[in-house]
Amino acid sequence: MSTKIYSAAQVHDGCKFLPAGTGVELDEAGVVTALHADTSGLKVERLEGTICPGFVNAHCHLELSHLSGLIPEKTGLIPFLQAVTGIRAHADESQKKDARFAALRAMNQVGIVAVGDIANTTDTLDLRASDQMHFHTFVECIGFTEHGAGSRFEQGATIWKTLQKQTVRTHSLTSSLVPHAPYSVSEKLFRMIDAAQPDALLSIHNQECVAENEFFNSASGAVIDLLNGFGIDHSSFQASGKSSLQTYLPWLSKEHPIIFVHNTFTERADIQFAKQHCRSAFWCLCPNANRYIEQALPNVPMLASETENICIGTDSLASNHQLSIFAELQTLKQAFPELSWETLLRWACHEGARALQLEGTIGRLEVGKRPGLVWLPSWEERTIPQRIA
């Protein structure tokens, strides 16, 4: 099998920059066969800019791709959720299919090799079957009332079991059953999800708006309006006097690795609490969606001072103008100039692979791995990354 060697002005291995001039040798299947510190005398394709492993999109809603441009920016989370619920079912099936396949192709082109995809339906079975990238599908359970927990769990479990039957030749296909968000899942439903898969990888939309913490602290705020708007009885809810994370996390086994998503209003105490209450905690940042919806960003420097387990997501085309991990990194760099590109690329590559439990295959330029290879011509705002292997 023939091989090809790539080098660039900068080579990032997924964790750190390698010495200048390092050559990355790949076979025809994209497997790394060697890293060359000295490429003199070798046939090398030399590029300007930077090369790095393929990106991991740790949080995405591909089944919402048909909502692109339909929901106004800067509404706040509660009106946004109401809009999504109101319009998501109105597109016909062919429009939805075309939109999600276009989104998948676009992600592939800009260097994304794996996705942590959120599912409320079986719509994305066809994307997974296309074998274009690694998928971990998080099947969400939603149900705030205790008496409806059983039926809500079964709805999610039916989708989950269907996904588990899928296999493809080239990429990883995995899935797990997860809670949507603290304000949309009852304690009983949390515990049912936990009991069904005591050590599974979980994901949860976490502290995305101020109202979430207000609801758990004092049973007040805009979440009440959301529940009322959907006709959901919340009369039995008792405020814990704590943040949402510190309320719901004890309802889950400590054996779960958990990806906390958004974290726009997460405090240091929440991060420290999570370290004590789950096997591993990953913190997924989706900055462009945060700006689109809430006009706010998490306290990323504080988060980075507490943990290295940070990964990157794009959310959906309902809440973002594009599904590009590099665009998310550029937003973070602009907002927090002290973040180095070495760190940002680590979050996008190796930490994302770890979060989705794919570090044995992708996320780093190491011999034997098939991580994909991405070329970044520059760090400039308009730069579009290109998948080259």
State pLDDT tens for residues 62-100.
Answer: 999 999 999 999 999 999 999 998 888 778 899 999 999
Could you read off the pLDDT of 343-369 as tens digits, one per residue?
Answer: 999 999 999 999 999 999 999 999 999
Could you read off the pLDDT of 159-213 as tens digits, one per residue?
Answer: 999 999 999 999 999 999 999 999 999 999 999 999 999 999 999 999 999 999 9
| Nearest Cα to Cα of residue 52 among 373, 368, 324 | 373
Instruction: Work out the number of other CB atoms within 10 angstroms of the CB of residue 380.
Output: 9
Structural domain spans, the chain: 1-53+363-389, 55-362
CA within 13 Å, CB half, 141: 33
Exposure string over 317-333, b if 16+ CB within 10 A, otherwise e = bbbbebbbbbbbbbbbb
Q: Which CATH superfamily is domain 1-53+363-389 in?
A: Urease, subunit C, domain 1 (2.30.40.10)
Q: 1-53+363-389 and 55-362: same fold?
A: no
Residues near 326 by beta carbon (within 8 Å), at least 6 away in sequence: 55, 110, 111, 348, 376, 383, 384, 385
Report residue 63 as tokens: 């089944």
CB 146 within 8 A of CB 89: no
CA 347, CA 223: separation in Å to the nearest integer?
Answer: 31
DSSP letters of 300-329?
A: HHHHHHH-S-EEE--B-TTS-S---HHHHH
CA 344, CA 341: separation in Å to the nearest integer?
Answer: 5
Given this model, what pLDDT does residue 234 score?
87
Lowest mean pLDDT among 233-237, 274-278, 322-326: 233-237
CB 72 within 8 A of CB 327: no
Q: Is the pLDDT of residue 1 over 80?
A: no
| Nearest Cα to Cα of residue 229 among 87, 81, 88, 91 | 81
Report residue 50 as tokens: 């930077």
- Residue 85: C-alpha distances to residues 63, 76, 118, 172, 259 (Å): 13, 15, 15, 30, 24
In 234-279 the beta strands, taken as DSSP E runs, fall at: 257-262
The DSSP symbol for 351 reads I
CB 178 within 8 A of CB 203: yes
CB 254 within 8 A of CB 275: no
Could you read off the pLDDT of 215-262 as tens digits, one per residue?
Answer: 999 999 999 988 888 888 888 889 999 999 999 999 999 999 999 999
Residues near 165 by beta carbon (within 8 Å), at least 6 away in sequence: none
- Residue 36: C-alpha distances to residues 6, 12, 41, 212 (Å): 10, 13, 11, 50
CA 54, CA 374: separation in Å to the nearest integer?
Answer: 6
In 148-275 the beta strands, taken as DSSP E runs, fall at: 173-179, 202-206, 257-262
Given this model, what pLDDT does residue 233 score?
85
| Axis-axis angle for helices 210-218, 222-229 (nearest 10) | 90
Instruction: Work out the number of other CB atoms within 10 angstroms of the CB of residue 46.
Output: 12
CA 363, CA 341: separation in Å to the nearest integer?
Answer: 16
Topology of domain 55-362, CATH: TIM Barrel (3.20.20)
C-alpha 12, offset from chain centre: 21
CA 384, CA 48: separation in Å to the nearest integer?
Answer: 14
Given this model, what pLDDT does residue 246 score?
98
